[in-house]
Amino acid sequence: MTYCVGLLVDAGLIFMSDTRTNAGIDNISTVLKMKTWEVPGERFLCLMSAGNLATTQATISLLDERTVAPSERQPAILSQPTMFQTAKLVGETLREVISGASGPQAQTPDPMFSGSFILGGQIKGTPPRLFNIYSEGNFVEAGEDNPFFQIGEHKYGRPIIIRTYDRKMSMAECAKLLMVSFDSTLRSNLSVGLPLDLQFYERDSYQAGLRTRITGEDPYYKTISAGWSDALKSAFDALPDFNPEAWAEHEEAELATV
């Protein structure tokens, strides 16, 4: 499995991905699931992947090859006019790979080869945009009402994002939020693993922001992981306890007024 999150905020885009890959639970390794391209001053793209690793790697390799030699192998990911066209190209390449892996006899793509992507970035003259691209090659875009995407093992880390996300957050606050969300997931599910990759993209910068790999030994990660447990316990303790007597009285009062 995998866990990746892309957040769209006023300040820009923030991406985080884990690095665990497994074929069976006794065949675990570390793999990069975050790929970036940039033309400084013109565009920045970040692509995070989940699903069948052969599929997602092949898709990225194709996109990459076609970028290196754009004259012969159009269309190149770095020559698309808009982020929408970029998402379309990623989706089409993904569908091409899955269709190839399924074989010429397959009536429909084999679900075994499915994969998905989060794509975010900005091209000069257009705003930052964030997309969730499906196995079928189609995609949805983040907006005011759904300003973030998660792919992979997304459930454990979702409640904290839902309750805390605010589009006015700074990049630093977003990084903290993502670390908490990933830490909750890591503690609950073995198929998501450290280290984590973090990428900042600042609005209108048209170049990669901070990029770092977070291991379990990083002091900040350790502070967040331990601090969040303590903070949660304190927050929990501060809530009023359930009072069975009051509850019984409340129920009787309700019955009395029926």
Q: Given the structure tokens 């970040």, which residue do they identify?
A: 46
Nearer to a copy of itself by Cβ, of 71 and 257: the residue is: 257
- Give the range of 56-64, 69-77, 82-90, 238-246 binding a copy of itself by CB under 8 A: 238-246
Smallest distance from the beta carbon of 100 to a copy of itself, in angstroms?
Answer: 31
CB 135 within 8 A of CB 98: yes
| CA gap 41, 239 in Å, rounded | 50
Candidates 103, 105, 204, 238; binder of a copy of itself (CB under 8 A) is: 238
Q: Which is nearer to a copy of itself, 82 or 207 (CB)?
A: 207
CA angle centred on 185, ends 201 and 215, rounded to 5°: 60
Q: How far is the CB of 214 from a copy of itself (least distance, A)?
A: 9
* List 23, 74, 242, 255, residue binding a copy of itself (CB under 8 A): 242
Q: Which stretch binds a copy of itself (CB under 8 A): 24-32, 110-118, 122-130, 166-174?
A: 166-174
Binding mask 171-210 for a copy of itself (x = CB under 8 A): xxx-xxx-xx---xx-xx-----------x---------x
In contact, 202 and 209? CB cutoff 8 Å = yes
Q: Which stretch binds a copy of itself (CB under 8 A): 41-49, 56-64, 101-109, 169-177?
A: 169-177
Site for a copy of itself in 103-132 (CB under 8 A): none
User: Shortest CA distance to 37 belongs to which of 72, 78, 91?
Assistant: 78
Task: Determine, following the binding rule CB under 8 A, whether residue 156 of this chain makes contact with a copy of itself.
Answer: yes
Minimum Å gap between C-beta 140 and a copy of itself is 18
When asked if residue 240 is in the footprint of a copy of itself (CB under 8 A), the reply is yes
Contact yes or no for 167/10 (Cβ under 8 A) = yes
* Strand ranges in 109-220 using DSSP code E only, listed in sequence order: 115-123, 129-133, 139-141, 148-152, 196-202, 211-214
For the chain, report the end-to-end CA distance as a whole number of angstroms.
52
Helix, strand or coil, per DSSP, at residue 6: strand
Task: Rule CB under 8 A: choose which of 234, 255, 257, 258 binds a copy of itself.
Answer: 234
Under the criterion CB under 8 A, does residue 160 sit at the interface with a copy of itself? Answer: yes
Instruction: Report CA-CA distances (Å) from 225 to 176, 190, 228.
Output: 10, 16, 5
Residue among 2, 4, 3, 7 at smallest CA distance from 142:
7
> Can you give the binding site for a copy of itself, defined by CB under 8 A?
155-160, 162-164, 170-173, 175-177, 179-180, 184-185, 187-188, 200, 210, 212, 218-220, 223-224, 227-229, 231-236, 238-244, 246-248, 250-251
